[in-house]
């Protein structure tokens, strides 16, 4: 089987899980696509996973209420061994990157990191990933009874529902007592859709001029469209926006239906994080900006004049 460790939050299955299902189906590997849901009170999450997986395994236990790298490693490795998984797929989120290498060590398996493409070849699994600031696409191949893969968020389209509801099975686990206890957590409260879930993203670059203009223009247009807000690395480095909004090689990879870039020049590092968007709209006063080479629609002009008109028209 192909084992996928579900990512979820607040009773909702993350988009990254559907992307991993699509990656598994597109890879040409044999065996059922199986989603493992770990947590406490995760029946609704399991029901969501059952809409596009072949089967769903559920470990619903109080000690799984809070993520722990030690516990998630033990759970993933146990199920992979019991089910003789040929591939274990884990999301390339911060937590996924933390425990995925441990799963590989536990299973004595090769580890393919940050996959943007997967293909079964010659009895093994071939993976592609970006390297050298996305200037190079690196191809790796692993041949082993089990391969552990992390999938880059946003690299694949989410899988569509199959039209059938997969069978769900409760699983028993022998879990270790975690040595690290999390005693508190501070989470940024978002008033709008997150980047990973947004179908429309409005991103601002240094071309918007200032932090105040970013709030007025980028956030203003995003609010009018019900969109997520992104930022370039230059904007984040300048302290205008938090790192969580950064799109690009060292930030998030996104693949929305529409990506609207305001004052974004289009450096290769940024393009690697949003280049697979369905439609790209660019507004920049520099007609030679690289962003126009990938844009489906482009406007050469001052964002301070164009964006307020767009906000008014959207309302």
For the chain, 315 residues long, the average pLDDT of each consecutive 10-residue run is: 94 93 94 95 94 94 91 96 96 93 97 94 90 81 95 89 90 88 73 85 96 95 94 95 90 90 94 89 96 96 95 90
279-294 b/e with 16+ CB inside 10 Å = b?
ebbbbbeeeebbbbeb
| Helix residue spans in 83-138 (DSSP H) | 94-107
CATH number (3.40.50.1220, 3.20.20.70, 3.40.50.300, 2.30.22.10) of 200-313 reads: 3.40.50.1220
Dist CA 23 CA 147 (whole Å): 14
Going from the C-alpha of 265 to that of each of 100, 216, 250, 271, the distances in angstroms are 35, 20, 17, 10
* Same fold flag, 2-170 and 200-313: yes
The answer to whether the beta carbons of residues 86 and 29 sit under 8 Å apart is: yes
Tokens of 304: 């301070």
pTM score, whole prediction: 0.79
| Burial letters 177-212, b for 16+ CB under 10 A, else e | ebeeeeeeeeeeeeeebbbbebebbbbbbbbbeeee
Backbone angles phi, psi at 181, to 5 degrees: -110, 130
The residue extents of the domains of the chain are 2-170, 200-313
* Number of H-type helices and E-type strands within the chain: 9, 17
The set of residues, in sequence order, having a beta carbon less than 8 Å from that of 8 and lying 6+ positions away, is 14, 17, 37, 39, 42, 45
Sequence-ordered list of residues with C-beta below 8 angstroms from that of 246, at least 6 positions apart, any chain? 230, 231, 232, 233, 235, 236, 252
**pLDDT of res. 252:** 87
Residue 287 confidence (pLDDT) = 95
pLDDT of residue 283: 97
Q: What is the pLDDT of residue 132?
A: 75
Q: Are 37 and 56 in contact (CB under 8 A)?
A: yes
Which residues partner with 300 through β-bridges? Answer: 284
> Is the CB of residue 312 less than 8 Å from the CB of residue 224?
no
Q: What is the pLDDT of residue 255?
A: 85
Distances (CA, A) of 169 to 6, 36, 57, 81, 222: 15, 10, 5, 16, 41
pLDDT of res. 133? 65
In this prediction, residue 90 carries a pLDDT of 97
Q: Say which CATH topology domain 2-170 has.
A: Rossmann fold (3.40.50)
Tally of residues, the chain = 315
What are the angstrom distances between the C-alpha of 229 and each of 235, 241, 248, 281, 299?
12, 10, 13, 14, 20
Q: Which of 160, 196, 171 minimizes the C-alpha distance to 1?
A: 171
Per-residue pLDDT at 189: 64
Confidence at residue 163, expressed as pLDDT on a 0 to 100 scale = 85
């Amino acid at each position: 089987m192909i084992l996928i460790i579900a990512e979820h939050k607040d009773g909702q299955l993350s988009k990254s899980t559907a992307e991993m299902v699509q990656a598994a189906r597109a890879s040409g590997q044999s065996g059922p696509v199986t989603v493992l849901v770990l947590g406490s009170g995760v029946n609704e999450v399991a029901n969501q996973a059952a809409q596009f997986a072949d089967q769903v395994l559920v470990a619903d236990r109080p000690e799984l209420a809070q993520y722990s790298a030690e516990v998630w490693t033990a759970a993933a490795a146990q199920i992979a061994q019991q089910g003789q998984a040929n591939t274990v797929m884990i999301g390339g989120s911060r937590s996924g990157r933390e425990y995925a290498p441990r799963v590989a060590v536990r299973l004595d398996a090769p580890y393919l990191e940050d996959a943007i493409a997967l293909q079964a070849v010659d009895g093994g699994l071939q993976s592609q990933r970006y390297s050298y600031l996305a200037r190079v696409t690196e191809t790796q191949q692993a041949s082993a009874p089990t391969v552990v893969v992390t999938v880059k968020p946003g690299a694949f389209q989410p899988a569509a529902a199959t039209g059938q509801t997969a069978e769900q099975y409760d699983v028993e686990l022998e879990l270790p007592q975690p040595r690290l206890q999390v005693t508190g957590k501070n989470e940024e409260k978002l008033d709008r859709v997150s980047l990973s879930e947004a179908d429309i993203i409005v991103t601002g670059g240094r071309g918007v001029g200032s932090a105040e203009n970013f709030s007025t223009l980028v956030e203003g247009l995003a609010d009018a469209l019900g969109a997520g807000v992104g930022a370039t690395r230059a904007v984040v480095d300048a302290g205008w926006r938090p790192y969580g909004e950064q799109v690009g090689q060292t930030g998030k990879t996104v693949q929305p239906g529409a990506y609207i870039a305001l004052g974004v020049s289009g450096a290769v590092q940024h393009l690697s994080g949003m280049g697979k968007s369905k439609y790209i709209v660019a507004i920049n006063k520099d007609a030679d900006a690289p962003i126009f080479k990938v844009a489906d629609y482009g406007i050469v002009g001052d964002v301070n004049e164009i964006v307020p008109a767009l906000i008014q028209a959207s309302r």
